[in-house]
Structure 1
Amino acid sequence: MGTDRERKMESRTIEGTETLVNVKVGEIFIDIPAASARYIRVREGDVVREGDIRARAEEELESPSLGKWTIETIGPETVIGTDQETGERREWERKTLEQQLATGGLSTNLTDFERVNVTDRKGEEAEERSVVAVVYGNDGRKFTRTFRPVDGEADGDERQLEPTDADERVEEFGAELRERFDRAVELALRNEGYAI
């Protein structure tokens, strides 16, 4: 998947894990670990909140006791956010905020899916074969969508698939987020020679 901005990535070790971090202003982008498809991206206007969305349910993080900030400015050294409850301004040292995002002290809101891995799983029987799309969200979470080949159908060189299973959390997405998810999956499958 592409991105609309160039990144300047710097290697850092965060709590013993080799991580790549974007150092340009306007966006925090963290590859955790550097060799994985998992990533976190925060842009100006996004939300950062206390708690680890990768380890807790969304409802748990909606507690009024957990802070939530809209990110106003991402500079080279500092990040400024506005508390959604009180309207007070908060300033973080950028490296500290990046570390908290990487380790789960803070999370961001899910807005996009930049990376998708497609795996063709061939079982011993033809009906056991499946194609799995693992979709990575900008909040560090991953979601799956499973398909099976449609027998006897072909559209040019594309192999036809039909959905068989979806991550339950995907069903809870709003219309716009669901459209982004579906588009990311379709593009990744098309790049691998599949059609839905």
Structure 2
Amino acid sequence: MLYHRITSIDDPYFAELHKLLQTIFPPEEVLAYELWREPLEDAGIHVYVAVEDGKVVGSTEYRYYPELRVAMTDFTIIGQAGKGIGRFLLRAREKDLARLAEQSGTEPIGMFAEIYNPYESEEQHAFGGVTPMNPFVRREVLSHIGYNRLDFPYVHPSWDHEGQAVSGLQLSFLPADENLAFLPASLIVTFLEGYYEALPNKPQAWLDMINQLRQQEQVALLPL
């Protein structure tokens, strides 16, 4: 299996990747095809696909913020079951993030991820494409890996640029130190403001969430 980085929508594998995104995620979570051009050219955004026999069978996107010493997993996609794609992507991503941290001379604190909470409303989570991408399965796997949810009500701006507040997810964190029980609220605010800087239309619910976090010193890490 090949771990291939995509840096342009003109990459022959990008069309397959975008189809996978549309299969796995609901429409408000998927950036329009042409709007990927600029993000893919950003050296700080790492989009890789798993390629087997010339076909895209999985993908992951992530970033590393050396000034914050944290990473963010934007998504991990498994296109087919029974091929070990998830493990392949996880290990390849771990090695690349370790390389990025070493290059920046930093020691990572951990990695953020937005994780669906299918227990809130099963009807709103009838997506996933293949069994490994089912929100219940994904949540359990990420819990086993070591992710914890951050203890505050979470929304994010929709990626369709409509300025809607997207709920049903929990901002979660995989700490490098598994005994870590809290994160500084200021770290979360700085991360979220930078991460969603590219979306000009922020819903009021998101702004209210950020303001609430500003009034806190720390946020607890709880089991998923």
Bucket of the pairwise TM-score, normalised by the shorter protein: under 0.3
Q: Which of 1 and 2 has greater Rg?
A: 1
Of Structure 1 and Structure 2, which has the larger fraction of its residues in strand? 1
Q: What is the TM-score normalised by the length of structure 2?
A: 0.22
Higher RCO, Cα 8 Å, sep 6+: 2
Of Structure 1 and Structure 2, which has the larger fraction of its residues in helix? 2
